[in-house]
Amino acid sequence: MTFLTRSGDKIFHIAIIGLAALAFLELIVPLASVIWVSFFENKIINFPPKGYTLDWYANAWNMPRFREGFLMSLKVGFVATMVSMLVGVPAAIFLARTQFWGREMIQTILLGPLIVPGIVAGSALFMFLIGFEVATGVQIAQTFAGLCLAHSLIALPWTIRLVTASLVGMDRQVEEAALTLGARPFTVFRRITLPAIRPGIFAGGLFAFVISFVDLEKSLFLVGPGSTTLPIAIINYLEWSIDPTIAAVATVQIAAITLVMVVTDRFFKLTRAF
Amino acid sequence: MTSVSTMAMPSGSRTRRHVKLPFGALPIPSLLLVAFGLILPLLLMARYSLAVYNPADIIAEGLTLENYLKFFTDPFYREVLGRTVWVAALTTLFCLVLGIPAAYVISRTKSPVLRTVLILGSIIPLLMGNAVRVAGWMVLLADRGLVNETLLVLNVVDAPVRIMYTLTAVLLSLVAVLLPFMIITLQSVFDRIDGAYEEAAATLGAPPWTAFFRIFVPLSMPGIFSGGLLVFILSMNAYASPVLLGGPTFHMMAPMVYEQAVKVFNWPFAASLAFVLMFATLVLTVVSSVVLQKKYGRM
């Protein structure tokens, strides 16, 4: 290759690497700045900072909307993960183990929450739930239950995707051998299939949790007094002010998700999830 | 295949017949969840978009195209749609300009460590969520944000420059929010394109620019197209960036759907806005794929 090197090669490589560097800066700089500013001592953002402090974290925790938002996001994320696993794992098994003619259609329907844009799906669900409330008197919109329903729905495609991926990747001969040796299908599932796909199930669950935790567009329509998630609390605050307190809140969200991601990566290479 | 699996096959299918009923029932709970959480609500919204608006009642009544007519006859709303398409097109363009080189570097690097670092560097920001990343851009771009403070300290400017509430601010944050989708889509496609093609072009005397634009880009066109499409659709539907970085006068479609549904409570109009948004996205998708197919053949 070296004998072909011309000055054009060099410019080409510099341009490609320069643009790629710019791309990664565009991704990293906003996250890095929000983390950095959260430690600034001044109440307003000042550069260079006069000093560093952890006070804004305490301040954020003492503001009920952030504390309650954080706890609400944790609770909703947990319920959404459980529901999406309970209904998603059987669906994934079905999708991975059938050649049924309607398989493609079922898969498309189940990935629907990923395809329909959040704002459209969120407004539709909002109208549906209010309409339901008018018809039956049961309030679901703007309650914990409504948030859980919406979040289970957005988590579902991810659970199904990750669990299906591990099912397709596993060696079926072991299952078949067990069946040949007389094991009942449920025993095979419990003793062979389940342990083999456990990493996929863990990863699917953790992924579902993250997707639920950071959701904005759907929650927007369904939050109410006493049931507001952390991302909604963040953007509501941002409409009025931008200061180290909100940077601290954002940093807590970054830390929480990084933690979950590190755990997920142990079970399932993140690079395979997309 | 080994003899074990061929022996097991008949037994496997016999067992399957025993459990046929419960097996077919496996996807039902999740289908019900999607039916009640997504499909029925969308159908109801379609009905609402054709209903007559009655401020006193939310029950869908009457049958009219008035809501759609209101949208297309009022220049204000047409302008909002135009701005949404324009912002989405620019975002897609910038994501391509930055995403293609980034994905190219990921797929052509010889260091597995750098590769993993760069892939995680694009996935992790994606999973942080829009709220946090928009907060990051506000910290940077606010009148008293990091960018302005730095410019002031360095004496580049005398007074803070207005960056917030401009198209630039919206584009910066939207590109950052959507770039990971572009990089991840492109990288998986680039990985499948054999480096031998570029080497052959180089051996035959093509300068790298020519090899890149005449060989590599056409080969990866299907991936570039699907990445661009994904980014375009997502930016058409963007909410947080236009609201927070565009400010109250920077109107785009998604925030308007929210406003009409939740604040104004005009559901028929909100529903028709949502369908116009979906339909516009769909039409532009189909048109662009037809145009690109003519240029680059089937994909």
**How is chain A split into domains, by residue range?**
57-272
Helices (H), chain B: 3-18, 20-25, 28-34, 40-49, 66-73, 75-108, 112-127, 130-141, 146-153, 167-191, 195-203, 208-210, 217-219, 221-236, 240-246, 253-258, 267-296
- Chain B nearest C-alpha distance from A209 (Å): 11
A140 in contact with chain B, both atoms CB, cutoff 8 A: no
CB distance A12–B212 less than 8 Å? yes
Chain A, chain B: beta-carbon pairs less than 8 Å apart: 318
- What are the φ/ψ torsions at residue A227 (nearest 5 degrees)? -140, 70
- Domain A57-272: give its CATH code: 1.10.3720.10
Q: pLDDT tens digits, residue range A227-260?
A: 899 999 999 999 888 889 999 999 999 999 988 8
CB B273 within 8 A of CB B256: yes
Question: Mind listing the domains of chain B with CATH numbers?
Answer: 74-125+162-194+219-299 (1.10.3720.10)
Residue count of chain A: 274
Q: pLDDT tens digits, residue range A91-119?
A: 998 998 888 788 889 998 998 898 888 99
Residue of chain B whose Cα is closest to the Cα of A214: B129
Name the DSSP letter for residue B220: T
| Residues 239-298, chain B, touching A (beta carbon < 8 A) | 239-240, 243-244, 254, 257-258, 261-262, 267, 270-271, 274, 277-278, 281
End-to-end CA distance of chain A: 34
The 3-state DSSP class for residue A74 equals helix
| Residues 138-197, chain B, touching A (beta carbon < 8 A) | 138-140, 142, 144-146, 149-150, 152-153, 172-173, 175-176, 179-180, 183-184, 188
| Residues 94-123, chain B, touching A (beta carbon < 8 A) | 97-102, 104-105, 116, 118-123
Q: pLDDT tens digits, residue range B181-217?
A: 999 989 988 988 888 888 888 888 888 888 888 889 9
What is the distance between the alpha carbons of residues B193 and B107, in angstroms, rounded to a whole number?
9
End-to-end CA distance of chain B: 33
Residue of chain B whose Cα is closest to the Cα of A87: B30
Number of helical H runs and strand E runs in chain A: 13, 0
Token duo for residue B161: 């420059």
Q: Which of B33, B97, B152, B244 to mutate to test the interface with A (most CBs of A within 10 A)?
A: B33
Torsion from C-alpha of B150, B155, B159, B162, nearest 10 degrees: -50
Omega before A30 cis (within 30°)?
no
Q: pLDDT tens digits, residue range A49-77?
A: 888 999 999 999 999 999 999 999 999 99
Q: Which residue, B82, B298, B290, B94, is CA-closest to A23?
A: B94
Q: What is the full per-residue pLDDT of chain B (299 aa) written as tens digits?
A: 333 333 334 444 444 444 455 778 889 999 999 999 999 999 999 999 999 988 877 777 888 999 999 999 999 999 999 999 999 999 999 999 999 999 999 998 989 899 988 988 898 898 898 999 999 999 999 988 899 988 998 988 888 899 999 999 999 999 999 999 999 989 988 988 888 888 888 888 888 888 888 889 988 988 899 899 989 999 999 999 999 999 989 999 999 999 999 999 999 999 999 999 998 888 888 888 788 777 766 54
What is the distance between the alpha carbons of residues A94 and A71, in angstroms, rounded to a whole number?
35
What is the distance between the alpha carbons of residues A222 and A232, in angstroms, rounded to a whole number?
10
| CB contacts, 8 Å: B184 with chain A | 274
Token duo for residue A241: 């002010």
